[in-house]
Amino acid sequence: MTARTYRIAVIPGDGTGPEVIREGRKVLEVVAGQSGFSLAWQEYDLGGERFLKTGEALPPSVLQELRGVDAIYLGAIGHPGVKPGILEQGILLKLRFELDQYINLRPVKLYPGVWTPLRDKGPEQIDFVVVRENTEGLYAGVGGFLRKGTSQEVALQTSVNTRHGVERCIQFAFDYTRRRAKANKLTLCGKTNVLTFAHDLWQRVFDDVAKNYADIHTDYTHVDACCMWMVKNPEWFDVIVTDNMFGDIITDLGAMIQGGMGIAAGGNLNPEGVSMFEPIGGSAPKYTGQNVINPLAAICAGGLLLECIGQPEPARRVEQAVMQVTQQLKSLAAGKMGYSTSEVGDLVVKALNGSE
Ligand code: IPM
Ligand code: MG
């Protein structure tokens, strides 16, 4: 039998993106070798540099090629020389929308040995997943200006919530909660007391879909209270499902309680199509090229990628290896790890080889 080969598009991107992606690839190559499958990498130079040179963020021909791969592995998008929003909208959001990656999956898990700002909490208490809707809401780009630049200016930004979009997200969240089989609890995070149209729809769809999942406990929290509970009682959460904007906000809070941007990873999923995996920390221009940035978030994103392409056991081994390494680092913060970026990648490889 010939070994299965997966085609992975790599977008190292801007800033420290290429440094962390290099370590992620190193780790994925090792685990692929151990598990008897192979990865065919196709690299794309999307990002700020290319945009400044050519004026193109995401050429149609590249988008077309990306539609045909098994998964996308993304470093970071964001360049100090490009006005904020251009690259985010032109590359990251464009890929999410064009490839219909309607789920943003963000595990919030405190690994052993990692410092959290929550004084009385440990790995036992911080282990939940946020399922964020990823193609609608305030991100849909619906709105506009009236009388722009005058004292009577009006700016509208509309939250788009379709039954189809809300339903597939909530459906995914219920399935995911069942598959995760941890506490079998799904919490809807919204703002039904104020967003009486949009989140009324979310609540009704949630209640409808719940009828098919008698084994899953359901709960509801307003987003402001959610932030409070994530800090005070994170152990209450198993899976949280929420809209695009609220998901964006609470996942940065989640990243902080799990030890910071050095470890936080996410997946932009199209369960029926091409998904994209990224460390969520951004391009960190001030650390670029210094070999000090933490690659564990990118490595964890690689783990999520493996799970998504149908290699759950290798994905689990990557996570186990990361959990060994977090106990060896002085801190997860850039420049304070006690090791360089590439040394941290090597430690993960060593842990993988030790566990064979
Ligand atoms: C994220 C990021 C993006 C978002 C930005 C970079 C557009 O914050 O992935 O959470 O808002 O979705
Ligand atoms: Mg964000």
For residue 129, the model assigns a pLDDT of 98
What is the domain extent for residue 80? 1-101+285-356
Q: Is 287 a catalytic residue?
A: no
For residue 138, the model assigns a pLDDT of 98
Query: Residue 2: pLDDT above 70?
Result: no
The tens digit of pLDDT for each residue in 255-274 reads: 999 999 999 999 999 999 99
Query: Residue 356: pLDDT above 60?
Result: no
250 lines ligand 1 (CB under 6 A): no
Kindly report the pTM of this predicted structure: 0.97
For residue 254, being part of any structural domain is answered with no
Provide the mean pLDDT of the chain. 97
For residue 351, the model assigns a pLDDT of 98
Spell out the residues 6+ positions from residue 181 whose beta carbon is closer than 8 angstroms to its own: none
What is the mean pLDDT of the segment spanning 194-223?
Answer: 98
Give the Cα separation of 196 and 198 in Å (integer).
6
User: What's the gap in Å between 249 CA and the centre of ligand 2?
Assistant: 6
Residue closest to 185 by CA, chosen among 133, 231, 128, 225: 128
Q: Determine which of 1-10, 19-28, 132-141, 282-291 has the lowest per-residue pLDDT on average.
A: 1-10
Location of structure tokens 């104020």: 194
Could you tell me if residue 310 is left (phi over 0), alpha (psi between -120 and 50 degrees) or otherwise beta? left
Q: Is 286 a catalytic residue?
A: no
For residue 329, being part of any structural domain is answered with yes
For residue 3, the model assigns a pLDDT of 81
What is the mean pLDDT of the segment spanning 79-102?
Answer: 97
For residue 1, the model assigns a pLDDT of 55
Query: In this structure, which ligand is nearest to the CA of 268?
Result: 1
Q: To test the ligand 1 pocket, which listed residue (72, 82, 93) has its Cβ within 8 A of the most ligand atoms? A: 93
What is the mean pLDDT of the segment spanning 335-353?
Answer: 98
* DSSP assignment string, 257-307: HTT-TTT-EEEEE-TTS-EEEEESS---GGGTTSS-S--HHHHHHHHHHHH
For residue 12, being part of any structural domain is answered with yes
Out of 44, 191, 238, 243, the active site residue is 191
Out of 208, 219, 252, 286, the active site residue is 252
The tens digit of pLDDT for each residue in 19-47 reads: 999 999 999 999 999 999 999 999 999 99
- The domain total for the chain is 1
User: What's the gap in Å between 75 CA and the centre of ligand 2?
Assistant: 14
What is the mean pLDDT of the segment spanning 128-155?
Answer: 98
Query: In this structure, which ligand is nearest to the CA of 134?
Result: 1
For residue 174, the model assigns a pLDDT of 99
For residue 124, being part of any structural domain is answered with no
What is the mean pLDDT of the segment spanning 182-205?
Answer: 98
Coil vs helix vs strand at 112: coil
For residue 86, being part of any structural domain is answered with yes
CATH at 35: 3.40.718.10
For residue 294, being part of any structural domain is answered with yes
For residue 122, being part of any structural domain is answered with no
For residue 65, the model assigns a pLDDT of 98
The tens digit of pLDDT for each residue in 295-317 reads: 999 999 999 999 999 999 999 99
For residue 314, being part of any structural domain is answered with yes
H-state helical runs in 181-222: 198-210
For residue 58, the model assigns a pLDDT of 98
Task: Give the pLDDT band of residue 54 (cuts 50, 70, 90).
Answer: very high
